[in-house]
Amino acid sequence: MLLKPLKNLSGLGDVKKLSTCTMDTPVIEVIHLLTENSVSSIPIVDGQGKLINVYEAVDILALVKGGMYTDLDLSVGDALLRRSEEFEGVHTCTLNDRLSTIMDTIRKSRLHRLFVVDDEGKLVSVITLSDILNYILFGED
């Protein structure tokens, strides 16, 4: 199982309908997406659906700390200018990556999710640490 690519693991590499935003999306809309979907991040895509960044719930804290909490109509792009310098970037994998490689990346980077992209960088899905643990414990759907 660990040596199989994600695309061969039924239930793990499946395409998921994800909420996304663009750099022009107002932060208040992203906050609604975060809460409505009970997720901690929203992928940011360009006009072609390519993953270009991610807006995380913790990014909202930077706005609050900076006194911007009254201006939530601010665009995601502008809000990212206030992001903590500790942000390590968006972590991705492809459907061709082996589960063992994905697990190593999650472990080493101390992540909770990887965004799955195709060969052109277009967002396909997301795989979370919980998804992997459920797959290992309970097997295929």
Q: What is the pLDDT of residues 77-107, one digit of tens each?
A: 999 998 878 888 899 999 999 999 999 999 9
> Thinking of the domain 6-138, which architecture would CATH place it in?
Roll (3.10)
Q: Quick one: pLDDT band at residue 111, thresholds 50, 70, 90?
A: confident
User: Structural domain boundaries of the chain?
Assistant: 6-138
CA angle 3/15/119 to nearest 5° reads 70
Tokens representing 137?
């414990």
CB distance 46 to 24 below 8 Å:
no
* Entry pTM: 0.89
